[in-house]
Amino acid sequence: MKKFWKSSNKILQGVLLSTFLLAEISFSETPKDIWEQSKSIKKVETNNNLETQNKEELPPTTILQIPKTELEISNISQTEIEQSNRQAIFGIYDPSATNIPLTFWENMSPETFDSFRQTMAQGDNRQSVNQLIARVFLSKTNLSNHEDKGIAYLNFVSFFLAYSQDTKLIDSVIDQNNLLLNNEQLLGFLINNNFSNYQMDKACKYAQNLGAEIKNFELQKFKILCLVQAKESKKALANLELIRENGFNDDFFIQKVNFLLGMLLARQGESKTDTLLNIHLSSLVDPMFNPSFSVFKGDLNKTKYFFNSPFVEKILLENKDSKKEFVTEEDFALIEFLEQGSNIELFKTENIFAIYKKIIFGIEDLLNPNDTYTKYHPVKGRALLYQAILLTKDQQQKFLFIEALLNSYKKSKFLNLGNKIYYQLISDIDQKYLTKEVQEQMVQYFESLKKKRSDLETNDKFLHTSDAVFLLTEEKPEIKSKKSLENFADLVDDKKYEVRKRDVAMINLLAQQKVNLPSSLRKFVNSDEIYIPNKIYNMLEKNENNKATLEVLQLVKNLNSSKEYARDFLVITKILDRLGFGLIKQDFIKYELIAS
């Protein structure tokens, strides 16, 4: 067991080091004053306080039948749960909905969870895979009766949540369970994600859950900064002394902490922009610190931080002057960076338009923008087209300029921004100048804005993404579901639609469920018997449903690359039926067909 946890921790650290975005910085000589002060703090106080420093407690773990009993975990890998007087229930989905009993994972070895985790880490998971894992592993389970008190199980869940980066799901889990808040990989993701979004209070709430056993210096540095800003100087110094004893040595960080703590010998010192934490420290210490926008380019988290922080307001103020002209390559590079912010929906398009208007053009350019915009820097070209759109009264000509503007955004890989501006601008054009296809696209675009991004959206371009899917998942599907199936059958009959592998899988499942298929689709039904693989069949016969569940999850992960997609799709649904996972099966069908 010790070897297992040792290797597991190494794997978690390896994954974190490859994904965690606060890069390592070079170490240098350490100032003495902060160490002298920290040594005056008794180590007894340090040990008692390091792992229980939250002023605002996160929601407690759910405890079965004994709500007053709290499950305290300082380190998942060292936790012992007294089975005699408490039961630790982890999860967010009710067993009555998922049909996964509380005792489902009791006989599963820790090694099996670790092996499954490694399998799931290989390659990107599709939405259907993540959806099934979430339903299965976040169904409530009794950790008290696991062989290792749920340690390996929780480590897998922590890995999965950090790997999926689904912040909405993570918040849902943590709102009901604080057991995961000592997993280094998950905490690393939560801290970094909230930090890059400039949600400092939330990032610090997670950072202060870091225990001394987490050796990652970048995480511990952020925790110390949070303690300093919370005016908990003694705890900050104690934590700093502790990581120093473990080999930490960073002159820049120590200098900034000295200054923030108001130490007499501390100096403001130089600024650094190599990491997000150093940028943040530099801005806290020096209110005049104003780095070039270029230091935030090329790194998504730095970019997100910029557009969520006061730095973006400084840029706007600097360029608000009505006499300011944008003429240099540096000016256009800045505007392109601001366009990137709009593309990821962190910067208002109105601000982009205001800047476009400040770029000066001659009469010849404005009269013939389609002929001249391509000879300029892409940003200047887009500004020319935008000004021409504002000046042109001819509706057809205006539409041509708008299309050219959209194509320019596409070439710069700003598709989201391009679509937003395109549909915003053409909505002001008289519809008699728009083709029926463009009008339909406009309606679909504005309808899509009303839906949540996490929602599944049907798409009538393909049979397997159409409303016909609900014939498989709803007890009483709407009339439009059957109508959609008939429409595609007519297209197939007229040879206007090519049936795809997911369509074949869907058609065969419809046949299994005794749905009356149009004649043109019946030829795709395979009458061969569907057999469950021997390995899984034997597990099911022995009532080893937990092991069979892990196997079927691996089948789902590999389904997309299967040479026998339709057959394996039907195998998976048959296994889910045998397991009694009716609602989970419906999720699999919807996400595998619609979201693929």
pLDDT at 595 over 60: yes
Q: H-type helices in 92-183, by residue range?
A: 95-98, 110-120, 127-137, 151-164, 167-176
179 pLDDT tier (thresholds 50, 70, 90): low
pLDDT in tens, 148-161: 888 899 999 999 99
pLDDT of residue 274: 94
Q: Which residue is it, tokens 């993404």? A: 465
Instruction: Give dist(CA 136, CA 130) in Å, integer.
Output: 10
User: Rounded to whole angstroms, how far apart are CA atoms 488 and 520?
Assistant: 9
- The sign of the CA dihedral 285, 287, 288, 292 is positive
Task: Give 81 or 162, the one with higher predicted confidence.
Answer: 162
Cα atoms found within 13 Å of the Cα of residue 173, Cβ hemisphere only:
25
Phi-psi region of 224 (alpha: psi -120 to 50; beta: other; left: phi over 0): alpha
Burial pattern 72-99, b for ≥16 Cβ within 10 A else e, equals ebeebbebebeeeebbbbbbbbebeebe
Q: Which pLDDT score, from 0 to 100, does residue 87 have?
A: 66
CA distances (Å), origin 377, targets 128, 218, 411, 424: 42, 40, 12, 24
580: left (phi over 0), alpha (psi -120 to 50) or beta: left
Q: How confident is the model at residue 318 (pLDDT cuts 50, 70, 90)?
A: confident
Question: What does R_g of the chain's alpha carbons equal in angstroms?
Answer: 29
Q: Taking residues 216-243, report their average pLDDT.
A: 93
CB 348 within 8 A of CB 342: yes
Give me 564's structure tokens: 């026998």
As a whole number of angstroms, the distance between CA 240 and CA 221 comes to: 8
pLDDT digits 0-9 by tens, 27-49: 333 333 443 444 444 333 333 33
Contact 384, 365 (CB under 8 A): yes
Run of H or E residues at 446: helix 436-450
141: three-class secondary structure by DSSP: strand
What is residue 50's predicted lDDT score, i.e. its pLDDT? 32
**Cα–Cα distance measured from residue 199 to residue 53, given in angstroms and rounded to the nearest whole number:** 19
| Cα gap 595→160, rounded to integer Å | 19
pLDDT at 145 over 80: yes
| Average pLDDT over all residues of the chain | 83
- pLDDT score at 178: 67
Q: What pLDDT is attached to residue 165?
A: 85
Sketch the domain layout of the chain as residue ranges: 320-450, 463-522
- Tell me, rounded to whole angstroms, the distance of Cα 203 from its chain centroid: 16
Residue 112 has pLDDT above 50, yes or no: yes
C-alpha span between 547 and 551 (Å, rounded):
6
- Please identify which residue in the block is written with the tokens 């040990």: 47
DSSP secondary structure, 173-224, as one string? HHHH--TTTT-HHHHHHHHHHHHHTT-HHHHHHHHTT--TT---HHHHHHHH
Backbone angles phi, psi at 211, to 5 degrees: -90, 170
DSSP 8-state code for residue 288? T
Between the CA of residue 485 and those of 464, 465, 472, 495, 571, what are the distances in Å? 10, 11, 12, 15, 23
**pLDDT confidence tier of residue 252, bands split at 50, 70 and 90:** very high
Question: What's the Cα-to-Cα distance from 23 to each of 9, 278, 466, 559, rounded to whole Å?
Answer: 20, 10, 45, 36
Q: Which two tokens stand for residue 41?
A: 């703090």
